[in-house]
Amino acid sequence: MLRTTTSSLMTRRSLATVAKTIPKVEVTELSNGITVASEYNPNAKTSSIGLVYSAGSSAENPYNNGVSNLWTNYFNHAGIQKEATKEGFLLSSNVSRENQSFTINTLPGNSQRALGFLQKNFISQLNSLESQGTTFNSIKQNTLKQLVNFEENNHKGRVMEHLHSTAFQNTPLALPTRGTIETVETLLPEDLTSFANEFYHSKNTTIVATGNTTHEELVKAIDTELSVATKSVSTPISKSTFLGSEVRLRDDTLPKAWISLAVEGESSKSPDYLVANVAANIFGSYVANEPRSRLQGIKLLDSIQEYHLCDSFNHFSLSYKDTGLWGFSTEISNVSGIDDMIHFTLKQWNRLSVSITETELERGKALLKLKLGQQNGLRARNAALLGTELIENGGLYLNTEEVFKKIDSISIKDIKNWAGKRVWDQDIAISGTGQIEDLLDYMRMRNDMSMMRW
Amino acid sequence: MFSQTIKSQLIKQSVRRYTISSLESAGKTSTLAVKVHAGSRYADKDGLAHLLSRFNFQTTNDKSALRLVRESELLGGKLESTLDREFITLRATFLKENLPYYVDAIANVLYKTSFKPHELVESVAPAAGYDLAISQQNPITLAKEALYNSTYRTDLGKPLLFDGVEEITLDDIKEYANKVYTQENIEIEGFGINERDLQRLVSDSLINTLPKGSSLKVSETPKSFSGETRIRSQGTSVAAISIPVTKESIPEFEVLKAYLTSPVYELVDVIDTVSFEKFNNTHGLFSLYVKGSDASVVAKNIKEVVSSLKKGKDISIAKELAKVESELTNEKSILPENHEALKLDAVKNFKLGKFSYVALGDVSKLPYLDEL
């Protein structure tokens, strides 16, 4: 327990690589394995403070899928919210595939109280869920309601979840972050407790603070307020692997078609992480109804606009510990043009390996820089983002200045090499819902991943 | 951006007629926002403000819309023009070093948009139509629109978006642009921008040669009414109430909003949305929405909420939360008027008095105003 050990054992070890290059982000590792990270901004009017565990839905298994989501809902349940209102705390919690966060927004100077609140209402309750039967049932009902709402209304999100489950089938990344209605219905308080015992321990814990909280204040507050369970060995999460495959959820009662298609992308610590992101931004995103979006310098738009092949598209490069997804999502109301939409998009992807131009590359770089710069600005309000960066990318992209230099140095040759390895003639994962009768069979699309002439 | 602020200086320049406020930071991106008191409340014809907002960043005398987009994307910048009841906001988010380009781009829009007839037909009107279609799909937005209308009738009660009811010509839009894009009527906000750079660039730009006019900004609370609107429609039913707020009671309603969205209020689960929109920090509209697919349940719920609020509630428990929420919202704007400290000491009890009411959906099952 931290409370008993810190006084004598708290040897602060700064992560030299991080600390040297980024003066504003401070990271300390405590002797019991907890990582403490802060980004202090003396001018901020609020602080964000919280816990990030490096275990999300990929730490679950097909039988307890959804436990993380239930913990998130536990953090937001009425009992805790009521206490939070009295204290003046704004709570939020989020589950993703590889981490989960529990954070509090508050006025400056409250870090001690905030951590005390987390300890009393969350950490110390991790083992006592069995005795809170009614609370558990209401949390479960709320979660199920959210799941039904997601399944019925968020087609784009649903397609992305299914893209993960087909691309990474039978490996941990395949599990949906929210869980499914079927699995959540079967969960018992014991499942949550045993998941917490397995993963919510000091080695998996990052305590984060951004906004108006100094690093010293945070470390001191942890010392007095927090006691996180320690565990000598972390439960290993098995490796996820990509498999070219498809899943079709055809539903002709829906007004449109929603499709996502991807190749295997870069893992989060891969040296090609930024190259893959620049490549995704070269094609960027498009919304047919926005006049300025129609004028963008994306060559793909020439083919799309003439026949209104899609309502919108968005290219992504998602990275996880072992692997990633690089591809695009699209929403199509012209459902008889799906084959053309996919064909022309994949033909543009071919160009990454053969004929991408200097201008297109510069455009992609500029857009990526803007996105990264903006994301870094969001951390002050949401400390969880700092934790996520550290857990997923090891803090590699926290120093915007350095990252911008790296982006600047990316050349057409880098893009071509990367695309030759990851995109050209590679297997694809496809997921679609809505009116997708016109989505061609797997091999027809797979054949578009290369061409006989260039 | 905000997170990495090393030096923050809030400066208000009073020599010139337009206001410049800027906050410097160590981040790599900046945001420049020009806020024009030209939102729907100031429009002479319904929907005029919406069309003007959609005309921003179209072709100017200097540059075609295409050239602006293509140049801007190579520099790493994003342009948008948004509309609310008070402001048309022209906003550019960009990599820090490109500030001069974006000051220029926005100045060009304000000073000499060409208002090409084909752009009205080909891009502005379809885009406006799309905005309207999106907003009409959302029953809460529809109810809010109706609440504003029954509470204020004119001024803030004017429709936000262009709906084609009133005919608007290109000349109307040009005339409105001439009226609102004047030196006295704009406020310039910079995030992550050195204030001296911004002042210098703005005074060298066309913004400095904008015609003189008068500030349209409304500071006094507009006349309000207690009205009722009933709209029959398919799908979700909504019952909603709104209360006009004066400057003195702004803190009270900030706290009320925090109170009604927290489980400390026993009926929190039946309320769908609570909204409090402030204008120039001198007045605002508070509104509360109950929504559901079964109108009889909605009817029961709105009755319960209204009668519980009429009885009076001690809302002081939510003061701290209100403070945090209002600080988080204030961070998004640096206009000095949004940074007056919230005086929460006097807030204690809230008792619902007069209000406006909207029933939308299966209205036969929803109560009337006098039944609440």
Widest CA span of chain B, in angstroms?
62
Q: Which residues are within 8 A (CB) of A14 and not within 5 positions of it... i.e. 6 or more apart?
A: A26, A27, A28
Q: Do A43 and B317 touch (CB under 8 A)?
A: no
Q: What is the pLDDT of residue A4?
A: 36
Distance of CA A406 to the CA centre of its chain: 23
Per the prediction, chain B carries an average pLDDT of 90
CATH architecture of A2-225: 2-Layer Sandwich (3.30)
Over range B239-252, report the average pLDDT: 94
**Domain boundaries along the sequence of chain B:** 2-209, 228-371
Q: Do A210 and B3 touch (CB under 8 A)?
A: yes
H helix runs in chain B, sequence order:
48-55, 65-75, 99-112, 117-119, 125-136, 139-152, 170-180, 195-204, 250-260, 295-311, 319-330
Measured CA to CA in angstroms, residue A97 lies from A54, A177, A259, B309 at distances of: 9, 6, 21, 43
pLDDT at B13 over 80: no
ipTM: 0.89
Three-state secondary-structure class, residue B114: coil
DSSP assignment string, A94-149: EE-SS-EEEEEEE-TT-HHHHHHHHHHHTGGGTT-GGG-HHHHHHHHHHHHHHHHH
User: Same CATH topology for A2-225 and A245-447?
Assistant: yes
A329 pairs with which residues across the strands? A260, A314
Q: Across the interface, which of A46, A82, A359 has its CB nearest the CB of B328?
A: A46
Class (C level, CATH) for B228-371: alpha beta
Locate the chain B residue with the closest alpha carbon to A211: B3
- CA atoms within a 13 Å half-sphere pointing along the CA-CB vector of A387: 32
Q: Hey, which CATH number is domain B2-209, 3.40.1110.10, 3.30.830.10, 3.40.50.2300, 3.10.20.30? A: 3.30.830.10
The two three-digit tokens of residue A273, written as one number: 């992480």
User: Same CATH topology for B2-209 and B228-371?
Assistant: yes
Locate the chain A residue with the closest alpha carbon to B191: A377
Task: Give contacts of B57 with chain A, Cβ < 8 Å.
Answer: 292
Q: Is B282 on the interface with A (CB under 8 A)?
A: no
Single-letter amino acid, residue B360? L
Q: Across the interface, which of B3, B74, B321 has its CB nearest the CB of A376?
A: B3
Q: What is the pLDDT of residue A454?
A: 53
pLDDT in tens, chain A (454 residues): 333 333 333 333 333 333 333 347 899 998 888 999 999 988 888 999 999 999 999 999 999 999 999 999 999 998 899 999 999 999 999 999 999 999 999 999 899 999 999 999 999 988 888 888 888 999 999 999 999 999 999 999 999 999 999 999 999 999 999 999 999 999 999 999 999 999 999 999 999 999 989 999 999 999 888 888 888 778 888 999 999 999 999 999 999 999 999 999 999 999 999 999 999 999 999 999 999 999 999 999 999 998 999 999 999 999 999 999 999 999 999 999 999 999 999 999 999 999 999 999 999 999 999 999 988 888 888 999 999 999 988 888 888 888 999 999 999 999 999 999 999 999 999 999 999 999 999 999 999 999 987 5
Q: Residue B269 CB: number of other CB atoms within 10 A?
A: 11
pLDDT tens column, B163-202: 999 999 999 999 999 999 999 999 999 998 988 889 999 9
Please identify among residues 34-63 of chain B the ones whose CB lies closer than 8 Å to any CB of chain A: 54, 57-58
Q: Across the interface, which of A41, A296, A365 has its CB nearest the CB of B69?
A: A296
pLDDT at B339 over 90: no
C-alpha closest to that of B367 among B230, B227, B226, B225: B230
Q: What is the pLDDT of residue B32?
A: 94
Burial A36-51 (b: 16+ CB within 10 A, else e): bbbbbbebbbbbbbbb
Q: What is the pLDDT of residue B16?
A: 45
pLDDT tens column, A315-352: 999 999 999 999 999 999 999 999 999 999 999 999 99
Rounded to 10 deg, the angle between the B125-136 and B48-55 helix axes is 120
Identify the CATH number of the domain defined by range A245-447.
3.30.830.10
**Domain boundaries along the sequence of chain A:** 2-225, 245-447
Q: Please give the Cα distance from A23 to A399 (Å, whole number).
A: 9
Q: What is the pLDDT of residue B37?
A: 95
| Window from A225-234, B29-38, B49-58, B226-235 with minimum mean pLDDT | A225-234
Q: Please give the Cα distance from A125 to A120 (Å, whole number).
A: 7
Q: Please give the Cα distance from A50 to B72 (Å, whole number).
A: 38
Query: Do residues A28 and A12 touch, judged by C-beta distance below 8 A?
Result: yes
C-alpha closest to that of A172 among A321, A283, A288, A333: A321
Q: Give the helix/strand (H/E) hosting A163.
A: helix A155-167
